[in-house]
Amino acid sequence: MLDRHSTAASKLTEIVSAIAEQRSTPAKEIEAARRRIAESDGEVGAFLRLAPDESLQAAAASDGPLAGITIGVKDIYDTRDMATEHGSQIYRGHRPVADASLVSMARLAGAAILGKTTTTEFASLDPTPTRNPRNLAHTPGGSSSGSAAAVAAGMVPLAFGSQTGGSVIRPASFCGVAGFKPSFRLFPSVGMKTFSFTLDTAGLFAATAEDLALAARLITGRDFGAGRRADGRGLRVGFYKSAVDDEVEADMQAAVAEAATLLERSGATTVTVEEPASLTAARSCHATIQSFEAVMALSDEFRRHRQRLGADLGAILDHGATIEPAEYDEARRTARIGRKAASALFETVDVLIAPSALGPAPRGLASTGDALMNKLWTLTGNPVVNVPGLASSVGLPLGVSVIARFGRDALALDVASLLQAMIAAPENAGS
Amino acid sequence: MLDRHSTAASKLTEIVSAIAEQRSTPAKEIEAARRRIAESDGEVGAFLRLAPDESLQAAAASDGPLAGITIGVKDIYDTRDMATEHGSQIYRGHRPVADASLVSMARLAGAAILGKTTTTEFASLDPTPTRNPRNLAHTPGGSSSGSAAAVAAGMVPLAFGSQTGGSVIRPASFCGVAGFKPSFRLFPSVGMKTFSFTLDTAGLFAATAEDLALAARLITGRDFGAGRRADGRGLRVGFYKSAVDDEVEADMQAAVAEAATLLERSGATTVTVEEPASLTAARSCHATIQSFEAVMALSDEFRRHRQRLGADLGAILDHGATIEPAEYDEARRTARIGRKAASALFETVDVLIAPSALGPAPRGLASTGDALMNKLWTLTGNPVVNVPGLASSVGLPLGVSVIARFGRDALALDVASLLQAMIAAPENAGS
């Protein structure tokens, strides 16, 4: 049996209730978030800058459904009241004219955009100085490093990230928070700095899957379900066995096995789902698509400022520039076949479970870890939710991914919510 | 027999040859373009602003394959050396940090980004003051108004536009120039202001289809064929009959019939292709997708600056804000079915031909005309090339669309090039 990790995360659903029932006010919540940041961000380093007072005063006066919810926004999202630097020297001090779509939509729902969080350079690989709040000697993961860390440390109940490879689900796993990568383009990515236009996906971090579902609904106006499933009866869960599972560490393998056991205990049936060859092929073409598109997306930055780019990003772009259009086109065809194969998986199961990362957060800040467990689902566009709660013997979080069919985001959140509750239930903790 | 219109357009292929053979220089070509603009843009109004001298001097020193090619860029593309205003008061004087991908790629190939051309507000419907160079009393069409007019007036041999409904093919038809809407996302749209993220498509204007193919190849590094087809032998051409053809004016119907006749004369076989119901349905869901996405894409501008938006755009967004997610999702499903149906059309023909607009450019500048003939192919993502040369009895251009299967852009350009040559051939003009 695996350990559980403790959580400092602030629950969005509880804050929304407290404000609805007048046990709190938006102003109090905003002030509390600022205080938490002042107290703990010195050692974590999740935030780059905080919103000006006038923005927060305006948010405090809101009576929208997300009033009082403070949000940390990855610094590749445009914000009209704060600099947006994309983790790059090239954009030092850059001030956009308008908010990114998701930022604007959150403000419209009453949320307070509290500040900008760290990102690896252009949401790629070069690490930030951000530390993992669960253990400061470890990376929080990336590229949405600051957003995952800010939620894990309880500074804010909600944060925005983005995923091109594994930039939401991996840091959520490392930091022990719930993370949501929606179906491709279900959330608008307008006003997010582009890295790869067929892969970049906006995503969210919160304490729980239930929090993610509520936030997603209130920002977009869509029904995202979640939290209404009392048990797992009737649910068919596939235990996904990929061709790269040999790379997964033993404690992470144990975490997914425990998730399967807990879902069975809740009444679900589980079966093993072997990865078809078409999805193994799709995973291995991710890098070609990503790098070829990044060379176009960052054309001006790459061609004029090569020497100002980090080592990892520079290497990706140098390689991308050698890829021929025919090789990219072939990779896109492989990806299309993979998308169909991914849909076919869900003819026999409702959701899949799989590791959210190869293991717990690696020690040190020199690398943000590996996206191998995530990039297939980014490529296919399926919704993925990271479920936190399980931990290694030294207390480092081990996240489990719940993956659903394209467009069935509500189901992924719903099952994730059930699994998170099963993990947290005292009667399951010591068994 | 329809008339032919004269052309003042500067041919890109000829300029590239002249420079390669040292009959001209990049500096001379840039100076000539500036002179043409000074002479004729007073009455046309295609350009908003010209590049600073230092940018043009740098371009004049290039030895890239597009050296000496001057480009007019629609003002929704980011340019680092010129303001980018999106046709909106909200962006007055806005200076981006980096070039849009396509702008950067063109500079890398040696082209001179000569200036920014007019666009309707956020590439929507509210007209610019730009006049049609073929007849100043008529609209040049939109939303890429300035780019189409700049090429038609011979100011520049190449211009960048974008199409969400009919914003490249329609103005190309109205102004009597070749226009190219590539397969969806074949050209990067990074750094173009987003209106509808599943529809927005970067596109090009030039004098001929051959020019378009050469420009597309030199900018992207892809093979775009074109100009190598000596005749139409072996080519199967579908004369597309849509459910909305009743709206098409008689002279435009005659233009497409003449195109069919000319292609037959070149050796091609033609058949009538009736629109399947699934494509009629796809066309009618275009507006739902466009408006719903525009409300998200322009969320900040819409919510904070509603009173600063033009009447047409404001109405689109007001309507878009009433569309429920379920209605949008249903429209996306209809579009997906339409995409499959569009592919199936090309099992029996190589290309389709269809009207590029309902008729010639309408008189007056109060409207940019109707995108009814274009929006289906924008939605399905098929490549479309407008072929110029035919004209109404009063000399107004009537463009013919050549449409190919998704990804077969080279074929569309190739057939367009053949058709344009057949139209221009003296032996076909008086027959």
Alpha helix positions (H), B221-324: 250-265, 277-297, 299-305, 311-320
Q: What is the pLDDT of residue A225?
A: 85
How many domains are contained in chain A?
A: 2
Where is pLDDT greater, at A229 or A245?
Answer: A245
Q: Do A197 and B189 touch (CB under 8 A)?
A: yes
One domain for residues A106 and A205: yes
One domain for residues A188 and A303: no
The reply to whether A108 touches chain B by the CB within 8 Å rule is yes
Q: Is residue B161 part of a domain?
A: yes
Residues of B (239-268) whose Cβ lies below 8 Å from A: none
One domain for residues A331 and A210: no
One domain for residues A213 and A178: yes
Question: Both tokens of residue B269?
Answer: 């076989």
pLDDT of B214-258, one tens digit each? 999 999 999 998 667 889 999 999 999 999 999 999 999 999 999
Q: What is the pLDDT of residue A47?
A: 98
pLDDT of A77-102, one tens digit each? 999 999 999 999 999 999 999 999 99
Domain with B162 in it: what CATH number? Answer: 3.90.1300.10
Q: Is residue B317 part of a domain?
A: no
One domain for residues A179 and A229: yes
Tell me which of A286, A309, A341 is where a domain ends. Answer: A341
Q: What is the pLDDT of residue A431?
A: 43
Strands across the sheet containing A112-117 = A47-50, A112-117, A70-74, A158-163, A201-206, A178-181, A384-387, A400-404, A351-355, A236-241, A269-274
One domain for residues A44 and A115: yes
* B10 labelled catalytic: no
One domain for residues A294 and A402: no
Give the mean pLDDT of chain B: 97
User: Rounded CA gap, B402 and B399, in Å?
Assistant: 10
Long-range contacts of B253-260 (CB under 8 A, 24+ apart): B253/B355, B254/B2, B255/B2, B255/B355, B255/B390, B255/B398, B255/B399, B255/B400, B256/B353, B256/B354, B256/B355, B256/B400, B258/B1, B258/B2, B258/B390, B259/B353, B259/B387, B259/B390, B259/B400, B259/B419, B259/B423, B260/B353
Residue of A nearest to B223 (CA): A325
Catalytic residue among A55, A62, A124, A143: A143
Are residues B342 and B351 in contact, defined by beta-carbon separation less than 8 angstroms? no
Model confidence at A214: pLDDT above 80: yes
Are residues A144 and A163 in contact, defined by beta-carbon separation less than 8 angstroms? yes
Quick one: average pLDDT of B314-332?
Answer: 98
Model confidence at A219: pLDDT above 80: yes
Minimal Cβ distance to A101: which of B190, B296, B407:
B296
Quick one: average pLDDT of A137-144?
Answer: 98
Quick one: average pLDDT of A149-154?
Answer: 98
CB atoms within 10 A of CB B271: 11
Q: Do A194 and B190 touch (CB under 8 A)?
A: yes
Residue of A nearest to B90 (CA): A97
pLDDT of B136-181, one tens digit each? 999 999 999 999 999 999 999 999 999 999 999 999 999 999 999 9
Share of chain A above pLDDT 70, in %: 99
One domain for residues A118 and A154: yes
Tell me which of A321, A341, A361 is where a domain ends. Answer: A341
Model confidence at A1: pLDDT above 80: no
Catalytic residue among B55, B62, B167, B266: B167
Model confidence at B430: pLDDT above 60: no
Tell me which of A316, A341, A366 is where a domain ends. Answer: A341
Give the mean pLDDT of chain A: 97
If DSSP codes are grouped into helix, strand and coil, which group holds residue B93?
A: coil
Q: What is the pLDDT of residue A6?
A: 80
Range of the domain at A143: 3-274+344-429
Q: Is residue B39 part of a domain?
A: yes
Using alpha carbons, select from A115, A28, A16, A124 the residue that is nearest to residue A74.
A115
Q: Is residue B296 part of a domain?
A: no
pLDDT of A7-65, one tens digit each? 788 899 999 999 999 999 999 999 999 999 999 999 999 999 999 999 999 999 999 99
pLDDT of A310-367, one tens digit each? 999 999 999 999 999 999 999 999 999 999 999 999 999 999 999 999 999 999 999 9
The reply to whether A189 touches chain B by the CB within 8 Å rule is yes
Q: What is the pLDDT of residue B431?
A: 43
Model confidence at B115: pLDDT above 60: yes
Q: Is residue B290 part of a domain?
A: no
One domain for residues A249 and A173: yes
Q: Do A299 and B99 touch (CB under 8 A)?
A: yes
